[in-house]
Amino acid sequence: MKKLIPKPSSLKRKKINQRHKTIALFNHKGGVSKTTTTFNLGWMLAEKGHRVVMIDTDPQCNLTGLVLDYDPSKDFDEFYSQHPNANIKAALAPAFESQPKMVQAVECVEVAHRDGLFLVPGHVNLSEYEVTLGIAQELSGSIQALKNLPGAFPYFVEKIAEAKSADYVLIDMSPSLGALNQNFLITSDCFLIPTAPDYFNVMAINSLVTILQKWIEWGKKAAESEALKSASYPFPKPNLKFLGTVIQRYRPRNGNPTIGFQTWIDQINETVLNQLVPALTKHGMTFPPETYEQVDMGNDLGYCLSSIPDFNTMITASQTHKTPVFALTKEMLGHVGAVLEKDMEKQAEFRSTFENLADRVIALAKYA
């Protein structure tokens, strides 16, 4: 019988598909559920059997506070002194502080009660690296001493993904347009934009149209720079793809957003469709239309991966128990009788919303 030997091209494709995907959650507008979505999506992906590393790149360290049993305002010092290498700043220090060692994987936090979900904690002083990275990125390697900086983060992501056998690396980002975010975003495989339905979010997406084009142009040039190519951490060729938006925290009535919220949701969707997506497509940052259509998204259907209502009272239990709303147990919900029943009904809706979000992310990210 003839032996089936895979052709080299299919072998290559398999290898590419098996590599982890890095997904950035980015919006320079603050308080739009970037951190909450990182945690909830990460948990759901892990619940579905994937291995997920979340990286807290925001000096506010909210994701770290959400995961660790510490009060960020008081106790982070204790965590840092007990685990000096377990944070993003320590991970990048070999490059940024010219230490005589290579960037490597660091100790991760295993998220309690969720196998397969890990966190690289944030650091309140990560912003110390912002200025030097900014200069390094402006000069694209023309200063010898700075040429190792732009490729350090993506190199670390590869190492940590390898160490944890990760399928997904989720990057929770700060609400800023600084050099760190430019670097984290452009070196990711794909990104989603968490938004909230209001005027300021429409404005924020409008401004991203210009910013993202500038950033990707920079990324392409940086990847071609001989100095950055020959660095200890070569700057990778950008391959960034837009997954879609997540519109969060509207108040529903009878299951749908009220008219006030719906107006802003429509405006966000229109801005994404008419301004953002054409600009991203021009720069190769979108999938072909049929890829989005496979998951019922795209031009006629919108680029919204998920619209998520306000968690209302369940947010408190979620924060107290460091568990997403859809994974809270009856005991954690803390109610009985009719109130518990109502909670469980709502919870089932949130579960299905986050399952659908994770399924769409999985389906799209495999093409990135």
Residues that bind ligand ATP (CB under 6 A): 30-36, 58, 60, 62, 175, 194, 248-249, 308, 310-311, 315
Tally helices (H) and strands (E) across the chain: 16, 10
User: For residues 187 and 235, what is the distance between their CA atoms, to the nearest angstrom?
Assistant: 8
User: For residues 74 and 2, what is the distance between their CA atoms, to the nearest angstrom?
Assistant: 67
Question: 308 touches which of ligand ATP, Mg ion, none (CB within 5 to 8 A by kind)?
Answer: ligand ATP
Burial-class residue 69 by CB neighbours within 10 Å (0-12, 13-18, 19+).
exposed
Q: Which residue from 94, 79, 39 is spatially nearest to 62, judged by alpha carbons?
A: 39
| Cβ 325 to ligand ATP shortest distance, Å | 8
| Cβ 158 to ligand ATP shortest distance, Å | 25
| Cβ 121 to ligand ATP shortest distance, Å | 15
The pair of structure tokens assigned to 63 is: 């994701």
**Nearer Cβ to Mg ion (62/140):** 62
Q: Which residue from 91, 126, 108 is spatially nearest to 52, judged by alpha carbons?
A: 108
| Cβ 63 to Mg ion shortest distance, Å | 7
Contact residues for Mg ion (CB under 5 A)?
34-35, 62
Q: Which residue from 350, 296, 293, 286 is spatially nearest to 323, judged by alpha carbons?
A: 350
**Nearer Cβ to Mg ion (146/180):** 180
| Cβ 244 to Mg ion shortest distance, Å | 19
User: For residues 135 and 178, what is the distance between their CA atoms, to the nearest angstrom?
Assistant: 11
**Nearer Cβ to ligand ATP (90/171):** 171
**Nearer Cβ to ligand ATP (33/182):** 33
**Nearer Cβ to Mg ion (6/30):** 30
Question: 310 touches which of Mg ion, ligand ATP, none (CB within 5 to 8 A by kind)?
Answer: ligand ATP
